[in-house]
Amino acid sequence: MRNVRLVFRREYMERIRSRTFIIMTLLMPAFMASTVLLPAKLAEIKSEGVRHIVLVASDAEIGEAVKQQLLQSSREGKTDAGKEEAPEYAIEVNTTPTDAEREQLIHDVSDGRIDGFLWLTQDAINKRQIAYNARDVANFGETIALQNAVSTALVKRKLANKGMTGEQVEELLKPISINSVHVEKGKEGASGTAVFLTSFVMIMLLYANVLVYGFAVMRSIIEEKNSRILEVLLASVTAKDLLAGKILGVGAVGLTQVLIWIAMAAMVALPGAVAAQGFLAGVHIPAMAIIAFGVFFLLGYFLYSTMYAALGAMVNSDQEAQYVQWPAMLPIVFSIIVAMPVMQHPSSQMAIWLSLVPFFAPILMFVRLLIEQPPAWQLVLCVVLMLVTTYGLLLLSSRIYRVGILMYGKRPTLPELRKWLRYAD
């Protein structure tokens, strides 16, 4: 145990004092926050100035109805979102839908005199297929706004022809919003959006940390193997103690980083903090989720780091490591791919059985814990299976490690690996 403690101390202190550790500890929270906040802010950015759009209609009444509906939607958007985020329109109704007029409008769009035109002929309306010509057709928000304006205007017109008043039509078409609320243990909790964002951020942190620190174990072995330091170390410490010290030391670094992030998140979320009053006001991370994060991080790290340690002992360079690390990466990447279906249906048979597989459990069982509490027997079985699998992998990896760290040259083949396992007995 003394040798294990010495290796543990060396691995821990060397990494925790490095600039990489400090930079990553500060940058990762900023990166995760930008991943969530930046797309939302970019989606709110509208093109500057007034959008000049021409509505080409066979029927002047239809063109005017669509114009009024689009202007009304713009005014409502300003009321809900603020002036800076709502688009402004200058709309012109054109009642000459001829081929010559269409060609002229295309030239006007190309030359920048107008931003776009909507072809609202009776034939296009009957076919339910209306064309919108513009330079920035990738502006999906504007396309959806035009589509909703045309649909609503036509529905209002038909309802008015059936004898309904304008107030009745407005009341009938008034949208109804649904706010999903998470219910757990007989109590209402955070909104569905807050639960999803919290789950997404914590899953990505877990995924990144397990991979990063598992890979760090492999890199450390490769560097020491190439520098021949291992030959000196093995004169005073056994290969088993060296492997155990490395895994525990690097794991402790990862746990330290996670604890720092939790402390930073707690400070940001304190009552009275700016973030707590704004975007993070609806985000609630239960204490159980934080504890589960630490447990599954350690279980996942020990499981994958034993695999990475064996891979590091097998290869001689980072280039070779890139070719052989896929067996360790595939299970955790697969877990991220199926995390969304599991999040949507945490009690399905697929979610239950996949979350019990040790290689998928660090992500998928954690996802289920965030959404709803699984039965206790599933949690106990999951942890037991992960511990048993980790122990088995540790025995297998230690045998490969014991022989592989002193092997140099080409990558071993499967027959050679079997020889290594026999030599290590």
3-state secondary structure 178-246: CCCEEEECCEEEEEHHHHHHHHHHHHHHHHHHHHHHHHHHHHHHHHHHHCCHHHHHCCCCCHHHHHHHH
Cβ atoms within 10 Å, residue 180: 12
What's the pTM?
Answer: 0.64
pLDDT, tens digit only, all 425 positions of the chain: 777 888 788 888 888 888 878 887 887 777 766 766 666 566 555 545 688 888 888 888 888 888 888 888 777 765 554 444 556 788 888 888 888 988 998 998 888 888 888 888 888 888 888 888 887 766 777 788 888 888 888 888 888 877 777 677 777 777 666 665 656 555 544 555 666 666 777 777 777 777 778 888 888 777 777 766 666 666 677 777 777 888 888 888 888 887 887 777 667 655 544 444 444 555 556 667 778 878 888 888 888 888 888 777 777 777 777 777 787 788 888 988 888 888 888 888 998 999 999 988 888 888 888 787 888 899 999 999 999 998 888 877 777 777 766 666 656 666 766 766 666 55
Share of the chain above pLDDT 90, in %: 4
pLDDT digits (tens, 9 = 90+) for 142-177: 788 888 888 888 888 888 877 777 677 777 777 666
284 Cβ neighbours under 8 A, 6+ residues apart: 189, 190, 194, 198
Residue 61 burial class via C-beta count within 10 angstroms: exposed 0-12, middle 13-18, buried 19 and up: exposed
- Mean pLDDT, the chain, whole residue set: 76
The alpha-helical segments, DSSP class H, found in 45-118 are 60-81, 99-111
Buried/exposed 312-338: b ≥16 CB within 10 Å, e otherwise:
bbbbbeeeebeebbeebeebbebbeeb
Q: Please provide the CATH number assigned to the domain covering 46-173.
A: 3.40.50
- What crossing angle do the helices spanning 361-371 and 349-356 adopt, rounded to 10°? 130
SS3 345: coil
Antiparallel, parallel or unpaired: β 50-57 and 88-94: parallel
Intervals of CATH 3.40.50 along the chain = 46-173
How far is Cα 59 from Cα 384, in angstroms, rounded to an integer?
Answer: 72
200 residue type, one letter: F
CA 72 from chain centre, in angstroms, equals 36
